[in-house]
Amino acid sequence: DTEVTQTPKHLVMGMTNKKSLKCEQHMGHRAMYWYKQKAKKPPELMFVYSYEKLSINESVPSRFSPECPNSSLLNLHLHALQPEDSALYLCASSQDLSAAGEGETQYFGPGTRLLVL
Amino acid sequence: QKEVEQDPGPLSVPEGAIVSLNCTYSNSAFQYFMWYRQYSRKGPELLMYTYSSGNKEDGRFTAQVDKSSKYISLFIRDSQPSDSATYLCAMSAKRGSTLGRLYFGRGTQLTVWP
């Protein structure tokens, strides 16, 4: 099973709201990722967690706050977002950052489509 | 110059055609090469993975890597309307600060018409 699940599928929020995106995988992967994708663009890396510790933060504004409560779950907390933050937010996982071969590959969830009004 | 270049298309072919999708790259440290398929409003789905140079075949799909030319290809034989999607190439180096990062092409939008 190579499934990564994400909830909710769609989210509409105002600029003063606080919301959270959730991601779950049960493949035993120890690296998890958040990406942002705008229309007709490739995914842009936001954060990487390795063994539940934040490994990479691609200079993402503090209104995005990631959390990895355990090895299967990844959250993205949203607060005071701007309309330009509207995008598809993708979660992905891979076996391990140091895995060789196919352990390198990342498996993506279906995404959360976020609209900020 | 972007690290990964991919013609965004759009590419439109009739059902049954052979489709060739390509990416070029500039970073000679890239060793791992992936192709993802992304249907409209969905997450990317891993199609093929290759390491270093050579060919890999999986059903109607063949991935080729030519590291000497820094060029990768995905061939789709007997294309079907269900292959209509955006195809993203991605690559990684697994070295130092690049660990954990995938470098994506822009994606090629493919339409296969019946």
Nearest CA in chain A to B95: A98
Q: How confident is the model at residue B97 (pLDDT cuts 50, 70, 90)?
A: low
Q: What is the mean pLDDT of chain A?
A: 92
In the numeric block, which tokens belong to residue B85? 């999607």
Contacts of B100 in chain A (CB under 8 A): 31, 33, 48, 50, 55-56, 97
pLDDT at A65 over 80: yes
Region A54-68: mean pLDDT is: 95
Tens-digit pLDDT profile for residues B35-64: 999 999 899 999 998 887 889 999 999 999
pLDDT of A75: 98
pLDDT greater at residue B79 or residue B31: B79
Nearest CA in chain A to B8: A40
Contacts of A54 (CB under 8 A, 6+ apart): A47, A48, A66, A68
pLDDT of B52: 78
Residue type for position B81 = P
pLDDT greater at residue A90 or residue B7: A90
Question: CB–CB of B4/B25 below 8 Å?
Answer: yes
Kindly determine whether residue B100 and residue A97, on different chains, have CB atoms separated by under 8 Å.
yes
pLDDT at B94 over 90: no
Contacts of A6 in chain B (CB under 8 A): 43
pLDDT exceeding 90 applies to what percent of chain A? 82
In the numeric block, which tokens belong to residue A112? 């959360």
pLDDT of B41: 84
Kindly determine whether residue A105 and residue B106, on different chains, have CB atoms separated by under 8 Å.
no
User: In angstroms, rounded to a whole number, what is the distance separating the alpha carbons of residues B50 and B30?
Assistant: 11
User: In angstroms, rounded to a whole number, what is the distance separating the alpha carbons of residues A93 and A108?
Assistant: 7
Kindly determine whether residue A55 and residue B41, on different chains, have CB atoms separated by under 8 Å.
no
Q: What is the mean pLDDT of chain B?
A: 91
In degrees rounded to 5, what are phi and psi of residue B107? 95, 140
pLDDT at A103 over 90: no
pLDDT of B93: 82
pLDDT of A22: 98
Bridge-based pairing state of the strands B32-38 and B85-92: antiparallel
pLDDT of A9: 95
In the numeric block, which tokens belong to residue A33? 């990722």
In the numeric block, which tokens belong to residue A4? 């990564």
Burial class (CB in 10 A: 0-12, 13-18, 19+), A65: middle
pLDDT at A100 over 70: no
In degrees rounded to 5, what are phi and psi of residue B104? -100, 150
